Chains A and B, each alone.
Chain A
Amino acid sequence: MSLVTIVVVFVINFTLFRVLPGDPVRAVIGRNVRISVETQQALREQFGLDKPVFPDQLFDTFGQWAQGNLGVSWSLRRPVSEVLMSKLWNTVLLIGLGQILAIILGVFLGLMAGWKRKTPIDVAALTFSLVAWAIPTFWLGIILLAAGSTWFGLPTAGIVNPENTGKPLITILPDLARHLFLPTLTLTILYLGEYMLIMRSSILEVLSEDYILTARAKGMSNWQVLWRHALRNAMLPIVTLIALNLGFTVSGAIYIETVFSYDGLGKLFQTALTKQDYPLLQGAFILLAVSVIIANMVADILYAVLDPRVKET
Chain B
Amino acid sequence: MNENWTLFMRNLRDFWRAFRRNKLGLLGGFLVLTAIIVAVCAPLLTPYAPTDVIRDANGRGMTFAPPSVHGPLGTDDAGRDIWSQLVYGARISLTVGFLAGFIAMFVGSLLGTLAGYFGGRVDNLLMRITDVLLVIPDLPLMLVLVATLRQMDLHISPLAVLIAVIGLLYWTSTARLIRSQVLTIKERQFVDRARAIGAGHAHIVRKHILPQIMPLIVANTVLVLSIAILVESGLAFLGLGDPTKPSWGTMLNFAFDRSAVANGAWWFYLPPGFAIVWVTLGCVLLGNVLEEMLNPRLTAHHLEGDQNMIAIPKQRVE
Residues in chain A within 8 A of chain B (CB atoms): 1, 4-5, 8-9, 12, 16, 19-22, 115, 117, 130-131, 133-139, 142-143, 145-146, 149-150, 156, 204-205, 207-209, 212-213, 216, 222, 225-226, 230, 244, 247-248, 250-251, 254-255, 258-259, 269-270, 273-274, 276, 281, 284-285, 288-289, 292-293, 296
Q: In the assembly, what is the distance between CA of A4 and CA of B237, in Å?
A: 34
List B residues 206-257 near A (Cβ within 8 Å): 226, 230, 233-234, 237-239, 249, 252, 255-256
Which residue from chain B places its CB closest to the CB of A118 in the assembled complex? Answer: B304
Q: In the assembly, what is the distance between CA of A142 and CA of B306, in Å?
A: 47
Is B234 within 8 A of A255, CB to CB?
yes
Which residues in B have their C-beta under 8 angstroms from that of A226? Answer: 303
Is A130 within 8 A of B301, CB to CB?
no
Is B281 within 8 A of A138, CB to CB?
no
Is B136 within 8 A of A273, CB to CB?
no
Q: Give 3 closest A-B pairs by Cβ, nearest first.
A: A251-B139, A139-B273, A134-B280
Which residues in A have their C-beta under 8 angstroms from that of B238? Answer: 254-255, 258, 270
Which residues in B have their C-beta under 8 angstroms from that of A213? Answer: 302
How many A-B residue contacts, CB cutoff 8 Å?
153
Q: Is the interface of B mostly helix, strand, loop or mixed?
A: helix
Given A21-B151, A134-B284, A135-B273: A208 in contact with B300 (beta carbons within 8 A): yes
Which residues in B have their C-beta under 8 angstroms from that of A259? Answer: 256
Is B277 within 8 A of A254, CB to CB?
no
Count contacts on B: residues with CB < 8 A to the other chain.
50
Is B276 within 8 A of A136, CB to CB?
yes
B135 at the interface (CB under 8 A from A): yes
Which residues in B have their C-beta under 8 angstroms from that of A138? Answer: 234, 237, 252, 256
Is B135 within 8 A of A284, CB to CB?
no
Q: Which of A225, A281, A293 is within 8 Å of B303, CB to CB?
A: A225
Q: In the assembly, what is the distance between CA of A138 and CA of B285, in Å?
A: 22
Which residue from chain A places its CB closest to the CB of B283 in the assembled complex? Answer: A134
Given A138-B252, A143-B270: A5 in contact with B302 (beta carbons within 8 A): no
Q: Which of B148, B234, B299, B301 is within 8 Å of A16, CB to CB?
A: B148
Q: Which of A4, A136, A244, A285 is within 8 Å of B230, CB to CB?
A: A136
Given A137-B234, A250-B137, A288-B137: A222 in contact with B277 (beta carbons within 8 A): no
B261 at the interface (CB under 8 A from A): yes
Is A9 within 8 A of B137, CB to CB?
no
